[in-house]
Structure 1
Amino acid sequence: MLATLERIELLENAERLAKMILDSEIAEQYHICLYKLRSNQESQKKISRFVSLKELYEEVQRFGKYHPDYKRVMTEIRECKREMDLDLLVADFKLAENDLQNLLDEISLLVGSAVSKHIKVSTGNPFFEKGTGHGGGCGSGGSCGCSA
């Protein structure tokens, strides 16, 4: 493909938009929470324990309730997940992550609707799927409203 002046201008504008997002308070809060989470040993232990139990859980799921450790693994994974989710740094990170995702979803909708009201923008967030022609698309169980 040949690089046209219009294409270069679009790429430069996209880079400016990305820089604005990275410089936003929402992105800054996300990076602060991520740093705090990664540097806290106690939180990392909880996450590591959950990840290792999750692997065991997936193995148990292959056999279901017939697996000899089914009950123990199911109990442990729930307790571990609850402990991890109640960790303040994990909770703060999840909130910051959701805020950043919501910002990106809003931007995606704005860009999509600026091109055409018929553009399908998959946000993965039901809040943005208000019957405006945006949202899941044809593969999302009929939420796009098409007759396919």
Structure 2
Amino acid sequence: MFMTYEWVQITDSAEELSELILQSEQAETYRQAYRDVYNDKNLADEIQAFARLKDQYEEVQRFGKYHPEYSRVMKQIRVDKRRIDLNEQVAALRFAENDLQDLMDQVSFIIGRSVSEAVKIPSSNPFFSSDSSCGSGCGTGGGCSCSA
């Protein structure tokens, strides 16, 4: 593929957009929340311990209730996950992640719609979903107000 002038302009615009996103309030809030979580040694250690427990959980899941550690691991993963989820710093990081994801979804939606109304736009936010037809897989033959 040859680098045309138009292609260079598109690349430059994409880089400019990327810089704007990186400089956005959402990105800065995310970076600060991330630093708050991972600069707290106790919390970072807790998260690493939880990651190791998740590995044990996956091992236990392979064998189900027949695994000798099944009950202990299943209970411990729920307790540890809840404790981490209720941590204010972790909650702030999750909110910041969601806000940054919403910004990315909005940008993707705008770019996709500028190309064509038919462009499928992946999004974590149903508002920006381009799937207004039955293609979303309702599977009920009318549950989504479609007529199969």
Same fold by TM (over 0.5)?
yes
Q: Distance in 2 between matches of 1:25 and 1:55?
A: 35
**Is 1:141 equivalent to 2:122 in the alignment?**
no
Q: Which amino acid aligns with 2:57?
A: Y
3-state SS in 2 of match to 1:119: coil
Partner in structure 2 of residue 68 of structure 1:
68
Give yes or no for contact 1:26–1:99 (8 Å, CA) kept in 2: yes
Looking at structure 1, the residues matched to 111 and 45 of structure 2 have their Cα atoms a distance apart, in angstroms, of 40
Greater relative CO (CA pairs within 8 A, separation 6+): 2
Partners of 1:130 and 1:122 lie apart in 2 by 8
Task: Give structure 1 regions of 4+ aligned residues with deviation exceeding 6 angstroms.
Answer: none
**Residues 54 and 77, structure 1, Cα contact 8 Å, conserved in 2:** yes
Give the number of aligned pairs. Answer: 139
CA contact (8 A) 1:53 1:77 kept: yes
Distance in 2, matches of 1:30 and 1:97, equals: 6
Question: Which amino acid in the other structure matches residue 141 of structure 1?
Answer: G
Distance 1:130 1:113 in 2: 9
- Deviation (angstroms), 1:128: 2.4
Q: Classify the secondary structure of the residue corresponding to 1:117.
A: coil
Of the structure 1 ranges 9-18 and 119-128, higher mean CA displacement relative to structure 2 is found in 119-128
Unpaired segments ≥5 residues, structure 2: 140-148
Which whole-Å deviations, capped at 9, do the CAs of 1:87-129 have from their partners, x for residues lacking one? 1111111110110011001110110011000000111333423
| 1:142 Cα deviation from its structure 2 partner | 6.3
Match of 2:146 in 1: none
The TM-score, its normalising length taken from structure 2, stands at 0.86
CA distance in 2, matches of 1:124, 1:26: 16
Hey, what's the Cα distance between the residues in 2 that align with 1:68 and 1:130?
Answer: 47
Match of 2:143 in 1: none
Structure 1 length normalisation: TM-score?
Answer: 0.86
d(CA) in 1 for partners of 2:132, 2:15: 28
Query: Unpaired segments of 5 or more residues in structure 1?
Result: 144-148
| Distance change (3 Å), C-alpha of 1:47 and 1:107 | same
Check whether the contact 2:56–2:73 (CA below 8 A) recurs between aligned residues: yes
2:53 is the alignment partner of 1:53: yes
